[in-house]
Chains A and B, each alone.
Chain A
Amino acid sequence: MTCEDAHLSMHDYISGELAAEHYKPLMDHMDECMNCQEFFRQTAHIQTTMRDFMLYEAPSELQTAVSSILANA
């Protein structure tokens, strides 16, 4: 597996979209290739951080408003 292929696979892996047959080749490549391993770690880290920062809880007034929209329809 080339670094370019590894990149395609690792993005799909991070997205939860990697086909099962590509998993082992990706892991084997990353065992050998420190650059890809680091890139993978960074990309996964950015994703987790972004997710932590950008998840919201709807304000309670909105929850009430939406419940009444559904109830009164």
Chain B
Amino acid sequence: MKSKRRKIFEKEVLCHLDRLYGYAMHLCKNGEDASDLVQDTYLNALKSEKQYSIGTNAGAWLFTIMRNTFLNKIRKMSRKPAGMAGEWIEQMTREDISELRKHGPDPSVKCLDNLLKEDIARAIENLPDEFRDTVILCDVQGFSYADIATILDIPIGTVRSRIHRGRLILRNLLADWKNVAMGGS
């Protein structure tokens, strides 16, 4: 017979299944690996069930477990996460931001309506991992800065600046493509 605590625990963790699967799809890039990762995440969550206080933040707790599970997996396969921010992206965002400071946002970028799924997907793929993770946790999964800081184990100020810069890079990538598609310069 299951305890009352255990029943509540199951309910609280189960309602994050779709979100976890979405994040796993983002981490693994395919449905099969994503499903495996979700199951491993639940197994690991059960192992550390006692560390979780009922009625607190099950979402952030599970996402933290999923991220660690994923990192352990790729460490075992001795694969490095691809695409850490190189100098170019540092340079690019530095320039974008100093440009922004001088002139405000570029008013010539006017054609970002009707974005296509493929464009968004491609732009997200082009973001370096650390920006992409942060933007997805915030903009897709709807986590607070504090939760994201916990999940990614980084300071909250870093979360905030990665979100600002990540969104700016996304927008500029999309604007560049749209501009080319519309025959602009």
A residues contacting B by CB (< 8 A) are 3-4, 7-8, 11-12, 14-17, 33-36, 38-39, 42-43, 45-47, 49-51, 53-59, 61-63, 65-67, 69-70, 73
Contacts and interface: CB of A to CB of B under 8 A. Distances in A.
Nearest to A12: B160
Contacts, number: 117
B74 interface: no
Q: SS class of chain A's interface: helix, strand, loop or mixed?
A: helix
Interface stretch (B50-58, B81-89, B139-147): B139-147
A66 to B, nearest CB: 5
7 contacts: A38-B107, A45-B115, A56-B18, A56-B21, A62-B17, A62-B38, A67-B14
B177 to A, nearest CB: 13
Contacts of B138: 15
Interface string B98-134: 0011001101011011010100110010000000000
B183 to A, nearest CB: 20
B21 A62 contact: yes
